[in-house]
């Protein structure tokens, strides 16, 4: 089994991956702690929350690449799984605020505001981190499994699947916008104080969360790499390219699609759960249809069906977003819109496609 994992990459690739991991989880924190603040090399505290956020997005991109890049199923509803993980974590964080809210009540502030007298039943258990963890790991996957089971069994695919996932996220967004639903309405859950007893305001907590996110992303990447490198991965790509042939070859494609769909939702839920403590808020706007489509473009920009491309794409697009929102907020949507068009028209293989083309040209030059 371990040998199988080692064979996923060549030695050179492993070295590269571990170097990046070491830089991200060891070097950057060291540059924050050891290098004095006035130095150019000092990594400021705020960077960790920001990078943590990007890493969460990268995990989402990874999840979407599995289902879209490899299996050809475009989901426009991954915001739901992201939010499911996020809300579960948010509920735990809300409960650990205790009586330090504005109203000094045991209930979350928004419930006091709505004049609720006791905790709704579905909030039970979120005092416990272990319970929350289980919910984060199970709920998004379970929801995806149920939804996927019916969708794939009815052979909904392509555009139809994309549209009903969009309808799903739209419906849930409407549901969560309601105060009566019990998740804080359009304000969502926010004003968290601490996680596992550590204050969320502390730079050290933020840095720890960032390092945990980086490690989870790394593990998810290895898991995904293993999946796509296995025969199952080849079946998935075969489903993408010629599904009926796969069925006539004796594969129950419903099971395969369901597996990867559920795995994708599982990773996406974890990303949401890691996102919330680092960003400090979760609200229904995460379930806006536009958000889920934006996730797809991260993968498209990086390059579909490569895993690494998804990670790069998430970083590039979100880096650009951060820059635009500060420097030229009016033009961000122009940029994003143009990105959608240009990538689909001219760079169907995304950034990694350009890179690969460039690389192969170099190689052919060398060989001649």
Partner 1 sequence: MTGVHIKDDSIDTTHGCILYLEEVTVSFDGFKALNDLNLYIDDGELRCIIGPNGAGKTTMMDVITGKTRPDYGTVFFGQNHDLTKMTEYEISHAGIGRKFQKPTVFLNHTVFENLELALHTQKDVWQSLTQSLTGEQRDIIDEDMETIGLKEQKYLRAGLLSHGQKQWLEIGMLLVQDPRLLLIDEPVAGMTHQETEHTAELLKSLAGKHSIVVVEHEMDFIRSIANRVTVLHEGHVLADGKMEDVQNDPKVIEVYLGS
Partner 2 sequence: MKQTCLLIKSRKSKTTIRGCKVIVQLFGVFVFLIVGIFSFSIAEANDFESSIKDLGNKSRSKIKLAVKRLGNIGNPAALPALEALKDNHLQISSDGSLIILNESEDQGRYALSGNPVDLSSLTLHKPRINNSVRRVLSMAIGKLKLTSDSPQVRLQAAGQLLKMPSTDLVELVEKTLDREDNDEVRKIFILVLAKEGLKSDDKNRRLKSLNIINEFGNNDFKTDLEALLEKDDTGNFLEGDSEIRDHAAKAISTIENRQFFINQAANLFYGLSLGSILLLAALGLAITFGLMGIINMAHGEMLMLGAYATFLVQNLFREYLPGIFDWYLVIAIPISFIVSAIIGIILERTIIRHLYGRPLETLLATWGISLILIQSVRLLFGAQNVKVANPSYLSGGIEVFHGVVLPYNRIAIIMFVVFVVISIWMLLQKTSLGLQVRAVTQNREMASCMGISTHKIDMYTFGLGSGVAGLGGLALSQIGNVGPELGQLYIVDSFMVVVTGGVGKIAGTVAGALGLGILNKFLEPVAGAVLGKIIVLILIVILIQKRPQGLFAPKGRMMDN
Is-contact 91 248, C-beta < 8 A?
no
Q: Tokens at residue 55, please? A: 């890493």
Q: 195 phi and psi, to 5 degrees?
A: -125, 125
Closer residue to partner 1, CB minimum distance, 168 or 260: 260
- Least distance (Å) between residue 299 CB and partner 2: 10
Other CB atoms within a 10 A radius of the CB of residue 167 amount to: 13
Binding at 187: pick from partner 1, partner 2, none (beta carbon under 5-8 Å per type): none
Q: Tokens at residue 48, please? A: 């960790």
SS3 content of the chain, % helix, strand, coil (to 5): 75, 0, 25
Closer residue to partner 1, CB minimum distance, 246 or 270: 246
- Least distance (Å) between residue 279 CB and partner 2: 23
Q: Measure the CA–CA gap between 236 and 243, rounded to whole angstroms.
A: 9
- Least distance (Å) between residue 308 CB and partner 2: 21
Is-contact 308 58, C-beta < 8 A?
no
- Least distance (Å) between residue 43 CB and partner 1: 39
Closer residue to partner 2, CB minimum distance, 142 or 164: 164
Which residues does residue 282 pair with via DSSP β-bridges, in sequence order? 189
- Angle formed at CA 331 by CA 272 and CA 356, multiple of 5 degrees: 65
Binding at 201: pick from partner 1, partner 2, none (beta carbon under 5-8 Å per type): none
Binding at 341: pick from partner 2, partner 1, none (beta carbon under 5-8 Å per type): partner 2
- Least distance (Å) between residue 2 CB and partner 2: 37
Binding at 247: pick from partner 2, partner 1, none (beta carbon under 5-8 Å per type): partner 1
Which residues contribute to the site for partner 1 (CB under 8 A)? 153, 227, 230-232, 234-235, 237-238, 241-242, 244-253, 255-256, 259
CA distances to 8, 121, 150, 171 from 79, in Å? 30, 25, 19, 12
CA-based torsion, 278, 279, 283, 287: positive or negative: negative
Which residues contribute to the site for partner 2 (CB under 8 A)? 74, 150-151, 153-156, 158-160, 162-164, 166-168, 170-171, 174-175, 177-178, 289-290, 293, 296-297, 300, 330-331, 333-334, 336-341, 343-345, 348
- Least distance (Å) between residue 2 CB and partner 1: 13
Binding at 159: pick from partner 1, partner 2, none (beta carbon under 5-8 Å per type): partner 2
CA distances to 305, 309, 346 from 353, in Å? 11, 9, 11
- Least distance (Å) between residue 115 CB and partner 2: 19
């Amino acid at each position: 089994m371990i040998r199988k994992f080692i064979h996923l990459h060549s030695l050179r690739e492993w070295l590269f991956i571990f170097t990046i991991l070491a830089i991200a989880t060891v070097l950057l924190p060291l540059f924050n702690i050891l290098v004095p603040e006035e130095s150019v090399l000092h990594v400021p505290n705020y960077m960790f929350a920001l990078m943590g956020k990007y890493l969460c997005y990268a995990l989402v991109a990874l999840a979407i690449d599995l289902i879209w890049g490899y299996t050809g199923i475009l989901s426009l509803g991954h915001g739901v799984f992201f939010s499911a993980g996020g809300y579960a974590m948010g509920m735990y964080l809300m409960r650990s605020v205790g009586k330090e809210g504005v109203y000094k009540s045991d209930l979350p502030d928004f419930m006091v505001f709505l004049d609720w007298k006791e905790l709704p039943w579905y909030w039970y258990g979120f005092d416990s981190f272990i319970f929350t963890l289980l919910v984060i790991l199970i709920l998004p996957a379970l929801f995806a499994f149920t939804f996927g089971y019916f969708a794939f069994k009815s052979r909904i695919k392509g555009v139809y699947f994309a549209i009903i996932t969009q309808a799903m996220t739209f419906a849930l967004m409407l549901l969560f916008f309601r105060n009566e639903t019990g998740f804080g309405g359009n304000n969502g859950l926010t004003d968290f104080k601490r996680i596992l007893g550590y204050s969320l305001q502390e730079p050290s907590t933020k840095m720890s969360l960032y390092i945990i996110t980086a490690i989870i992303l790394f593990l998810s990447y290895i898991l995904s790499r293993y999946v796509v490198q296995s025969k199952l991965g080849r079946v998935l790509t075969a489903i993408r390219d010629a599904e009926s042939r796969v069925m006539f070859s004796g594969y129950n494609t419903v099971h395969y699609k369901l597996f990867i769909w559920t795995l994708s939702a599982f990773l996406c839920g974890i990303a949401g759960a890691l996102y919330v403590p680092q960003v400090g808020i979760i609200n229904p706007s995460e379930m806006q249809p536009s958000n889920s489509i934006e996730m797809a473009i991260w993968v498209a920009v990086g390059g579909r069906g490569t895993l690494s491309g998804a990670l790069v794409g998430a970083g590039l697009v979100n880096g650009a977003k951060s820059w635009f929102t500060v420097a030229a907020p009016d033009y961000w949507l122009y940029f994003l819109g143009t990105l959608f068009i240009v990538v689909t028209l001219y760079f169907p293989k995304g950034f990694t496609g350009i890179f690969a083309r460039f690389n192969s040209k170099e190689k052919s030059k060398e060989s001649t």
